[in-house]
A and B are shown apart, each in its own frame.
Chain A
Amino acid sequence: RKEVEQDPGPFNVPEGATVAFNCTYSNSASQSFFWYRQDCRKEPKLLMSVYSSGNEDGRFTAQLNRASQYISLLIRDSKLSDSATYLCVFNNAGNMLTFGGGTRLMVKP
């Protein structure tokens, strides 16, 4: 099993839609989880941390499912400006932050 698996997409959704991405990880001992956003030709930036109890930031909700070893990101009421690549991140067995390959989201008018 790969350390981290993400559907590369692209996910093409209309404005206002709700879209969700999942990311599976292999290290059951991972403690830290994050979602990053990367715009075209820019560096990745932290979108939000993922807490065990789940957390919400405006239109964005992140959840952790330890039993099935995946994290999810839900975006409600999608905006054109949400178009980007979303990267999941967790700490591996060596306590190094490991990045997924990213899921590309395209929000269309």
Chain B
Amino acid sequence: GAGVSQSPSNKVTEKGKDVELRCDPISGHTALYWYRQRLGQGLEFLIYFQGNSAPDKSGLPSDRFSAERTGESVSTLTIQRTQQEDSAVYLCASSKDFGFTEAFFGQGTRLTVV
């Protein structure tokens, strides 16, 4: 498909384990965003990539969270030593350029920490 793809769609992990969430943006999209959404809450900005660089990491909630992007394509969000409060849907979005065109979202990864 031509849309944003995220994997896995669902992840259940034990508290203290590390998890990796993957995002495959639309081909050619240079901007990529990660958001977190807790149940019944709004979007919480995590990090933003222009190409492979992340000019704004201000949204990462702690040093347990990190993200990278390679080849101006796939991005990985890693959460180390997961906590129960990390349970949420993690959404990835991509756009053709930096802030001037609309962003397209993937279906998200639902993370449950038990």
Residue of B nearest to A85 (CB): B42
Chain A residues, Cβ within 8 Å of B31: 96-97
**B106 touching A96, Cβ below 8 Å:** no
**A96 touching B99, Cβ below 8 Å:** yes
A31 within 8 A of B: yes
**B48 touching A45, Cβ below 8 Å:** no
B34 within 8 A of A: no
* Total residue contacts A-B, CB cutoff 8 A: 57
Q: Which one of A11-19, A70-78, A86-94 is at the B interface?
A: A86-94
Q: When chains A and B are docked, how far (Å) is the Cα of A79 from the Cα of B41?
A: 24
Q: When chains A and B are docked, how far (Å) is the Cα of A42 from the Cα of B42?
A: 12
**A95 touching B98, Cβ below 8 Å:** yes
A80 within 8 A of B: no
A57 within 8 A of B: no
**A99 touching B108, Cβ below 8 Å:** no
Q: How far is the CB of B72 from chain A (nearest CB, A)?
A: 17
Chain B residues, Cβ within 8 Å of A87: 42-43
Number of interface residues of B (CB under 8 A): 23
Q: How far is the CB of B47 from chain A (nearest CB, A)?
A: 10
Number of interface residues of A (CB under 8 A): 23
Contacts A96-B56, A102-B42; A91 near B99 (Cβ below 8 A): yes
Q: Which 7 A-B pairs have the closest CB atoms?
A: A91-B99, A95-B99, A101-B42, A43-B105, A95-B98, A46-B102, A99-B43
Other CB < 8 Å A-B pairs besides A87-B42, A95-B98, A98-B45, 17 of them?
Answer: A8-B42, A31-B100, A32-B100, A32-B101, A43-B91, A43-B107, A44-B105, A49-B102, A87-B43, A91-B100, A95-B100, A96-B31, A96-B98, A96-B99, A97-B31, A97-B99, A101-B43
26 CB-based A-B contacts, threshold 8 Å? A8-B42, A32-B99, A32-B100, A34-B102, A42-B107, A43-B91, A43-B106, A43-B107, A46-B102, A49-B102, A91-B98, A94-B99, A95-B100, A96-B33, A96-B48, A96-B56, A96-B99, A97-B33, A97-B99, A98-B45, A99-B43, A100-B42, A101-B42, A101-B43, A102-B42, A102-B43
